[in-house]
A and B are shown apart, each in its own frame.
Chain A
């Protein structure tokens, strides 16, 4: 055996210890070497050395259940840092149905391989049907099983969006969608509600974990306090109109344009999130500033407790009014 071959063989042994399958690795190298115009042995050795030398990017598995892919799309909208740099430079995105190139068995193989290795960051988007597993099947098996299996060896679990955290809209459907708070009882889950997830919340949480190796400080319902500390209401620029009882009735009237949206169904007074400060879409806007109302999508009661959405007749709105009458919203100076 030539010296080079011995070296290559030794490296392959070490890779195998790291959980990289020798046969797959060689097969992969053969194809890639041909493409790059290198000899197979030369390429294999070089790649194996590179793996030794570079610190491995953390593996990420992103599972989608009863979702709309809105959280995925929301995440890809981040410009600074660009989503592409997070996906290609910071993490090793092993499985993501909407993003990955592979389909079918190719994609399932990567999933199983990564699960076997463990130590990955697990991101869940979408709820899990509790009425019947058959409401959400992926690759021929219940999504619930995938979540339970993937959670076992995850280094951190992040639930993105209203559906994956507390059930969201699917919770009110016949499929009875549940979030990870119910699907994975007792597990530490970082909850990033809002419908969809705010891209900053997810990027920041991932970067926090990669930098410190720790889960950020969470509130009582698993939300990072760095993003979920004050109510929408506390930072709302329409706040003074709420206190003064000026409520918008007609969207056509420029006079009322900035008045409080309470009568149109706003749930900002009991919704905890930093939307008014952080804003959305690169700071361009957020729900309340487009004359829309806060629907309370960061709260576990979303959607059932917030409906009817566009009037002050929901249970939540009644509660808000009662709190206002009791003077509970008065700001302490």
Chain B
């Protein structure tokens, strides 16, 4: 048996995550991921007015805020028989578009970039750019004052870390600028969303925010600024890093995993919702030379609980899911369930979406030798940010046209009151990946509520067939030459943009000992 190391807490993610890996000959041989916090929102919802669900489930996560709000509203739309007017869908698209831009920026710059650069290299900057010199002064000043929190302590930069002073200092200056830009993207969403995190305007049947022409103009002006940053800073940064110093990591395909991809598809381009910005589809066992995408069928989703702390049950569709804890279950090690698509563990998220969409920019990188993995995940995220920015312009134009038509509507008021009974599912491509909510209504109250969230797909434990989840599989073979410095492990996990609050239900009750990053 190799050396086993545990990273707990796994930071710069949403939620509480513990990663354990077994290392042999400098490589990850086996891996386990588990979450350590639970609230039990689904149980709370039972017996409640169904309309509460979109408000409550939004609070699953405040980083990817409102993704559950819209997903829940869509499930309720289906259960209530509501038909969201196109105006309502356009505003839903626009506020979620703003959320995407914020979310991908904060993930790349604030949550991930520091894993790839040696921030102290800014001290070696010899250029004359005044803004960059100010950044240098700031960091060197922190070092001199011996107070570089929260930038240190850190894992030691390794062979893949970017140490070129010019690249690092520009990345650090973009880190600071991105903080402002992602805050501004949130403000853009608040024009109709009310405030962030957690919009206030998405409800069953549509939205509550009746738009005016000044808001459209304001959104557009703010979008211009985001577009400029995405095109001139974010995408060039990702490409410069990915095809430059990180190219060896990209070519090795570190963090690849199962090569199975799932996208539910999202962002309707028309009222019927047939044309989507991100198409739906399934890929089992990617062959980059000949990408075969199968249609997505929601009926093929099951959730296994063999290694999860729930009462033993055979894999079932989410409509039939239950949440009865069994804390003493043998062999269980996580309270994340194990969702599978036709028995396959799947990856969801930006890379899955861009591969399913056969995005030419991503496929070009792949044809040049980048294997789908941690670096490609960052590239896919940047590529789709641009697609969303472009789509927002189209939606703004359409909203203007719609608004000026007589009888313009944003909400299906006729279906506002809960039905006696009904059931419905709602899907959303959240920034982190495919998200689904399933609701059953009985006597005008919630009778069952189940969610399968992106991080449940990605962070799942093994299923009854012993197949590892995507985080676990993607860690296998990752180089960890120094077990005290498992920087590649955190790079891989963070490339998925983990968001655990919604994926996790409870902690492994048998491992209450202090779980430090320890070598056993």
Chain A: residues with CB nearer than 8 A to chain B? 20, 25, 28, 32, 35-37, 46-47, 50-51, 54, 56-57, 64-74, 76-79, 82-84, 87-88, 92-110, 129, 134-141, 143, 169-170, 172-175, 177, 195-196, 249-252, 254, 257, 264, 280-282, 284-293, 295, 303, 307-311
Contacts and interface: CB of A to CB of B under 8 A. Distances in A.
Contacts, number: 317
**Which of A136, A175, A252, A295 has most chain B Cβ within 10 Å?**
A252
B153 A137 contact: no
Interface stretch (B189-197, B290-298, B358-366, B428-436): B189-197
A53 to B, nearest CB: 9
A104 B7 contact: yes
Contact of B144 (A47, A84, A177): A47
Given A108-B516, A280-B194, A93 B150 contact: yes
Interface in B168-187: 176, 179-180, 182-184, 186-187
B interface: dominant SS: loop
A65 B512 CA distance: 16
Given A82-B180, A137-B37, A308-B49, A290 B209 contact: yes
A115 B52 CA distance: 40
Given A57-B147, A139-B515, A172-B44, A286 B195 contact: yes
B120 A32 contact: yes
A99 B12 contact: yes
Contact of B194 (A107, A138, A286, A307): A286
Given A141-B512, A292-B194, A100 B12 contact: yes
B101 interface: no
Contacts of B8: 104, 139-140
Chain A CB within 10 A, most for which of B142, B176, B183, B206: B183
A280 B123 contact: no
Which of A94, A172, A290, A307 has the most chain B CB within a 10 Å cutoff? A290
Interface of B: 6-16, 18, 36-41, 43-44, 48-49, 51-52, 55-56, 59-63, 65, 85, 106, 110-111, 114, 118, 120-121, 123-124, 138, 140, 142-147, 149-155, 176, 179-180, 182-184, 186-187, 190-201, 203, 206-210, 327, 408-411, 413, 490, 501, 506-507, 509, 511-518
Nearest to B489: A103
Contact of A134 (B10, B118, B506, B517): B506
13 contacts: A69-B61, A74-B196, A76-B179, A77-B187, A84-B179, A103-B11, A107-B11, A134-B509, A169-B39, A174-B43, A251-B206, A291-B208, A308-B48
Contacts of A65: 37
A107 B62 CA distance: 22
B7 A68 contact: no
B413 A250 contact: yes
Nearest to B179: A84
B12 A71 contact: no
A251 B210 contact: yes
A306 B311 CA distance: 33
Contacts of A72: 62
Nearest to B409: A252
A136 B38 CA distance: 6
A252 B15 contact: no
A289 to B, nearest CB: 7
A66 to B, nearest CB: 5
Nearest to B513: A140
A109 B484 CA distance: 14
Contacts of B196: 73-74, 77, 280-281
Contacts of B501: 67-69
A77 B145 CA distance: 27
A306 to B, nearest CB: 9
